[in-house]
Structure 1
């Protein structure tokens, strides 16, 4: 995995918490080709907290990918490093899918969604 996904998993006093950060890239529709190089300039545009403290009894993430074993390993490592006991989660893999199930165990699973806007220019 070249870049970790913008997903943070934490243990908030025994409550699994998932933060998903979306990045919205905007800019003019340009293409560039040739033997020389060009720079890409990115500028922070805005930030929006889409949802905070959403609480679900359980939460399942289904991810379709060409690299399910890479994602499985990332989720297993991240979940273990979060301090959550393995009874709070299961990670399963098929040929092109990864499923992560977070168990709330009566307290629920917290979900946060945020979006950062970035303007990109050539």
Structure 2
């Protein structure tokens, strides 16, 4: 159900926008840097521990993937979950631990938005 594989992701999430030109890689790094700064500002203004933690996870994952992109020109993905049903193998996307942190952070932000203290006080 689980394999360690090596995959070089030169695009963004789920392999979208695949382009290995240096200009494209620098463009992705610039977008990521702007996103990290915006998320850091949001985190500094956050009023709940859950939102602050979630934003920290997203920022950490983005920085981790950014380090890969800077060092290798692509993000290193290595975890693959799969299942076989009736002779057919179904694979999930190959991912890394930075991706796990980003997804956990987004889930935390969604939970805080819908069920957090401010959501409970909304009319």
TM-score of the superposed pair, with normalisation by structure 1 = 0.26
- Between Structure 1 and Structure 2, the one with more strand by share is 1
- Between Structure 1 and Structure 2, the one with more helix by share is 2
Of structures 1 and 2, the larger Rg is shown by: 1
Greater length-normalized contact order (CA 8 Å, ≥ 6 residues apart): 1
